[in-house]
Structure 1
Amino acid sequence: VTYALEGSVFMAGAIVQWLRDNLGMIQKSSDIEDLARQVESSEDVVLLPAFTGLGAPYWRSDISASITGMSRGTTKAHIARAALEAVAYQTYDVLIAMQKDSPHPLTELRVDGGAANNDLLMQFQADLLDVPVLRPRDTEITAKGAALLAGLKTGLYDDTTMQASWQVDRIFEPTMSNDERDQHLNKWRQAIDRALKVL
């Protein structure tokens, strides 16, 4: 018997789609990284992507999306960077909640999907979690994994095939100081607290 923990993030890659389709800030989703790299940080800007509420660990469907911390000097690059950071913050929240339910400490995070191709996001995720983030050569491994599991069950594949199907492309090692990490997380928590107090 194998047990798994699952947590839902309602808006991750869809945040980038929103910036592309609704605000017209980028032409294609992959442009988000170049735009975000135009600034060194998001400064005080926080994008709270509660377009359909917030998922785990908050489970609040009544919270609305917001962008806070903007000033006269805020540019679309700051918002783009805040959007990528929002993906990492939500993932952080889910994984910290999972740590409370698991006897095993988090030692690495394996990622896949379109967002995994974004180096800036992957580095920020590693920095927030303070563990290495491993990106596979095939970033669409979820669909492939489902097919391999079906093949394993029917006897078409064996464990060797399963293990060989995942090969690392790049490892993002955490480089952020504890103080800087705390500053980022405090900024995120303040945005969450503001949203909760509005209700």
Structure 2
Amino acid sequence: MPHPLNDATAKAGFLGISGGVKKAHLVRSVVEAIAFANAHVIEDIGKWFHVEKPETVKFSGGVAQEELLGQLIANVVGTKVEKPVSLEASAIGAAEFAGIYTGIYTLEDIPRLLTVEKVYEPDANAQKDAETYEKWKKVIERTTKWEF
């Protein structure tokens, strides 16, 4: 049986909520919003600092438990997404930067300190997810220009 979140966007409609919306549709919309917001930040950083799209994106924290999120980010950004064994990699990252600052580590030491549990790569849904992301960006642009 397919995961109930996979076609939630199509059932719920892109904008608006109908009487047929189920819990899975709302969860899917939240997961998409997180993925799309992260993709947008990656895109903006590339524009602002004139850097290429990263070969790999790493994500962690409690939200990394959601398998769909890793896959959506991979599909929308068009790159590999790595999920570490320790989901508290954010705290580990802060400690690593402290280690770099104090001279315990160098930047070259950091990759070996993170053990990857799973790698997501763009899949057969990448085109559809990228199209949904483009629509999302249009909605964000239109709704942020309202005047009150």
Aligned 8 A contact 1:135 1:169 in 2:
yes
Aligned 8 A contact 2:74 2:121 in 1:
yes
Counterpart-to-counterpart distance in 2, 1:83 and 1:137 = 24
1:82-101 matches, within 5 Å, as 82-100=29-47, 101=49
Deviation at 1:73, TM superposition (A): 1.5
Task: Please point out which of 177, 180, 191 is paired with 2:139.
Answer: 191
TM-score (norm: length of structure 2):
0.78
Counterpart-to-counterpart distance in 1, 2:51 and 2:141 = 29
The equivalent of 2:65 in structure 1 is 117
Residue-pair matches, total = 142
Aligned 8 A contact 1:136 1:169 in 2:
yes
Counterpart-to-counterpart distance in 1, 2:33 and 2:91 = 25
Q: In percent, how many aligned pairs have the same letter? A: 27
Q: Which residue identity is paired with 2:19?
A: R
Residues 107 and 89 from structure 1, CA distance in 2 versus in 1: closer, same or farther, beyond 3 angstroms? Answer: same
- Structure 1 portions without partners, runs of 5+: 1-36, 48-67
CA RMSD in angstroms, aligned pairs only: 2.6
Deviation at 1:69, TM superposition (A): 2.6
TM-score (norm: length of structure 1):
0.60
The equivalent of 1:167 in structure 2 is 115
Aligned 8 A contact 2:78 2:122 in 1:
yes
Residues 196 and 150 from structure 1, CA distance in 2 versus in 1: closer, same or farther, beyond 3 angstroms? Answer: closer
1:148 aligned to 2:114?
A: no
The equivalent of 2:84 in structure 1 is 136
1:42 aligned to 2:8?
A: yes
Of Structure 1 and Structure 2, the greater helix share is in 2
